[in-house]
A and B are shown apart, each in its own frame.
Chain A
Amino acid sequence: MSNGNHGGEAAQQRRGLMVFLALAVLTVVEYIVAVSLSSTPLLVTLLALAAGAKCWAITVYFMHVSRLWRGEEVH
């Protein structure tokens, strides 16, 4: 069935799993950094970087932001 999505279902599900694992690792790293560091400026910087990376991954891979300009039906 032509459904406008790139790659097979299994490949897309695998990519989703990889993204989820990356997000989970970043979350654990955030927690460990927060309980380990005492320097507030460094902590704020590292947490902001981690949150930015997670936001980027979700926006690009889960929310498919590129479909705004690329479209979904184009192969």
Chain B
Amino acid sequence: MAAAVSHGHEHADPVAHAWHRVRINRLGLWLFLISDGALFAIFAASRFYIAGTAIDAHLNQLLGLAITSLLLLSSFSAYRAETAFAHGNTAHGRTMLLATILMGLLFVGGVAYEWSIAEFAASEAYGTAFFSMTGMHAFHVVTGLLFLGVIWARSGSGRYSQGPQVWPVTAVVIYWHFVDVVWVFFYPTLYLLK
């Protein structure tokens, strides 16, 4: 009886029920990010173990700074997109999502170019660290771009324009920020040490 009453109560307030689901989904997403963050932490620790703090003298510092700035800017546009969707401003949100996707693509292009001009081999200590860390990170950027693309394509019908329904946008944007947080640590680790 109590269960039946509780069940009926949930359906009596569908908005509260939807927010409850968002809270559960948010917790699940953060647990995933923590486990994924542990993977990146292991990559960073490996870099110091196999190559110390040394970096390759031929590394293109300006390119590193440029792609870092791009990813930072894409995080800002992703924030703007989420904020716009949360306030029912779907058109602006979609524009900002598209800007985020374009900057993400440029970042991946920059990493690919860096790989193509690298003057160190993957078999060298620093090369092993550089290619594995940037490769794993770029893989996450590409998956983030796929998620962003799906959200952008589905948002055209206005389905993400109400409170709890904005969660898919929020989730993808949080993932994108996570990718940026990882690069916040990878950039100095790979480019700026001596």
Contacts and interface: CB of A to CB of B under 8 A. Distances in A.
User: Which of A27, A43, A62 has the largest count of B CB atoms less than 10 A from its CB?
Assistant: A62
A28 B162 CA distance: 38
B184 A16 contact: no
Interface residues of B, number: 42
Contacts of B80: 13, 16
Dominant SS at the B interface? helix
A19 B80 CA distance: 12
Interface string B155-194: 0000000111010001000100110110011011001111
A27 to B, nearest CB: 6
Interface of A: 1-5, 8-9, 12-13, 16-17, 19-20, 23-24, 27, 30-31, 33-35, 37-38, 40, 43-44, 47-48, 50-51, 54-55, 58-59, 62-65, 67-68, 71-73
Interface of B: 19, 22-23, 26-27, 30, 53, 61, 65, 68-69, 72-73, 75-76, 78-80, 83-84, 86-89, 162-164, 166, 170, 174, 177-178, 180-181, 184-185, 187-188, 191-194
